[in-house]
A and B are shown apart, each in its own frame.
Chain A
Amino acid sequence: MEKSTSQRIRLGVFVVLGTLVLISALYYIGNRQHLFTKNIPVFAEFENVNGLQIGNNVRYSGINVGNVSKIEMLAESRILVQMMVEESTGKFIKKDAIATVGTDGLVGSMVVNILPGKENLASIKPGDTIASYSRIGADDMLSTLNVTNENAALLTSDLLKITNKILEGKGTLGVLVSDSTLAKNIKQTLLNLQETSRQTTIAMSKINRELADLNIDESLAGTLFKDTLSRNRIENIIMKLDTTSSHIAGITKNVETMINRIDNGEGALNYLTQDQELVQNIDTTLFYIKQSSIKLDENMEALRDNFLFRGYFRRLERQERRAMKKAMKD
């Protein structure tokens, strides 16, 4: 039963090695190092990684698909992060996917979130670099929050003033809030409105009844409503009326212009209508013309009796008589 020294040593070595293998296997499985899955390297450049460490998870659409395997400083504010992503999920990551550094929970460790790209682009290949944007740091957020707080303080002080005024009954809102008479008036108005609407409802129902009773097909209104031919005619008439009225408007305008001119003393008509002397002159002229025509009449009578023109007048008389006889025969 007694074992030899070499046997005991070999068993000891075996136990120690076995324990070490067990511990390392548990460590790798426990940390989900993806030992047994095929991984592809993917790169992303950041300005600020917010405390990202090697071994932090990489998430794509919220699923752990790998982890950060290397963080390298390339230049000032250029940090290259290498991620090992499972090949099986890598085919779903498109070339326009965006990597961001986020936090796992409120105070949890950092994670790299890969946001999905558009579907029509090709999938990433091993060694590809995807776009990234660095998250706003807590300091920036706090400074923005500070400005917001200051604004909020100003706003609340203004609001306080306004509410104080309202409480004191100043301003329109104050009156609205504190004036009981106004409230009563508004209440009364509302009651009146209610009554009016009630009456309107009754009136509307009456109108509805009347309309229902009216035999609309046989009336003029019915014709107007239903006959499309009449409607076209009426439309034509109205169009023509429209044209006519526009013409009338033009004429009226012209007349107005003319009257204005006349009033202003421009043109002959004004001279004719407004000048008193002209009227007298015309009157005198007419008198003279009358006198002259009387005298001309006398002269003509004398001329007829003159021997030189007597033959001509006799010929005229003869022609007239002939024409009368012919007319009587017809």
Chain B
Amino acid sequence: MVASNTVWDNVKSFFEEIGDIAYFTGRFFREVFKPPFEFRELLRQCYNMGNRSMLLVGVTGFILGLVFTLQSRPTLMQFGAESWMPSMVSISIVREIGPVIIALICAGRIGSGIGAELGSMRVTEQIDAMEVSGTNPFKFLVVTRIVAATLMLPLLILLGDAIALLGSALVENIKGEVSFLLYFNQVFDSLKFSDLIPATIKSFFFGFAIGLVGCYKGYYCSKGTVGVGEASNAAVVYTSMLLFVIDFIAVFVTDIFFGI
């Protein structure tokens, strides 16, 4: 009986949480188009999320392209299809691997950061103080962060893709004696807008999910300092899961509109 109660409670709390996130999303959309707009805070958040993630994204992307090319080489060599390497690597990185890996990295860095920051503000009652002082904390803290994440993620993903291709080109240059010029010629020959556009649209949603879940978890943080840790942890876990769900849906939508 206790066990069934626990399962039922878990299910209930799961749906409750989903419902809360839905309300939270609804509130975000109500607030985002309503003046006054916090541009200064938005720019600060963009700088925080974008510029400060560049190194992380760059290193990850470079290693991603490098390792991916190294691992694919032997298989392609078996078919004598090394010349397909640039097109294969570029399409898989631009379409799928780049956006997903970089979004996951950003979920770890940005999502957990937002969760911890807002969580600590909540437990130290700074948010309550803002409400009392007449400032709209949702607008100032949540809307700016979600918008900043939504805008910055596509840029970070494009940067990550480019650096991953550079890493791949480096391997090809060393191992396969393919010049950088030839490599990038082949890359741009094989890439189409139907590869790039769906991936870019998808990355906006990735950014939105990272900002939304991070803000939600931090905004409704409770249970003191332990709650801050839980909030940042849950933000990363939930965001990662949500990223794959979004990716899953994006693949189907892309198939319908662009035909994979």
Q: Is the CB of A11 within 8 A of B18?
A: yes
**21 A-B residue pairings within 8 Å (CB atoms):** A7-B19, A8-B15, A8-B19, A8-B20, A8-B23, A9-B15, A11-B18, A11-B23, A12-B19, A13-B15, A13-B19, A15-B19, A15-B22, A16-B18, A19-B249, A22-B249, A23-B249, A26-B252, A29-B252, A30-B252, A30-B256
Q: Does A314 sit at the interface, judged by CB under 8 A?
A: no
**Residues of B contacting A5 in the complex (Cβ-Cβ under 8 angstroms):** 16
Main secondary structure of the interface of A (DSSP, over half): helix
Chain A's nearest CB lies how many Å from the CB of B143?
17
For B254, give the chain A residue with the smallest CB separation: A30
Q: Is the CB of A30 within 8 A of B255?
A: yes
Q: Does A3 sit at the interface, judged by CB under 8 A?
A: yes
**Residues of B contacting A7 in the complex (Cβ-Cβ under 8 angstroms):** 19
Report B232-260 CB contacts with A as 1/0, cut-off 8 Å. Answer: 00000000000001001100110110000
**Residues of B contacting A8 in the complex (Cβ-Cβ under 8 angstroms):** 15-16, 19-20, 23
Give chain A's interface residues, CB within 8 Å of chain B: 3, 5, 7-16, 19, 22-23, 26-27, 29-30
Task: Report if A16-B252 is in contact (Cβ < 8 Å); known contacts: A3-B23, A11-B23.
Answer: no
Task: Report if A10-B19 is in contact (Cβ < 8 Å); known contacts: A19-B245, A22-B249.
Answer: yes
Give chain B's interface residues, CB within 8 Å of chain A: 12, 14-23, 245, 248-249, 252-253, 255-256
Partner of A12, one of B18, B249, B252, B255: B18
- The CA of A26 and the CA of B245, in the complex, are separated in Å by 13
**Residues of B contacting A10 in the complex (Cβ-Cβ under 8 angstroms):** 19
- The CA of A85 and the CA of B145, in the complex, are separated in Å by 52
**Residues of A contacting B248 in the complex (Cβ-Cβ under 8 angstroms):** 23
Kindly list 7 other residue pairs between chains A and B, CB separation below 8 angstroms, not including A19-B245, A29-B256: A8-B20, A9-B16, A12-B14, A15-B18, A15-B21, A29-B252, A30-B256
**Residues of A contacting B252 in the complex (Cβ-Cβ under 8 angstroms):** 23, 26-27, 29-30
- The CA of A12 and the CA of B24, in the complex, are separated in Å by 12
**Residues of A contacting B20 in the complex (Cβ-Cβ under 8 angstroms):** 8, 12
Chain A's nearest CB lies how many Å from the CB of B241?
12
Chain B's nearest CB lies how many Å from the CB of A28?
9
Q: Which 6 A-B pairs have the closest CB atoms?
A: A12-B15, A12-B18, A26-B252, A12-B19, A11-B19, A8-B19
- The CA of A15 and the CA of B17, in the complex, are separated in Å by 11
**Residues of A contacting B19 in the complex (Cβ-Cβ under 8 angstroms):** 3, 7-15
Q: Is the CB of A12 within 8 A of B22?
A: yes
- The CA of A14 and the CA of B14, in the complex, are separated in Å by 12
- The CA of A100 and the CA of B183, in the complex, are separated in Å by 41
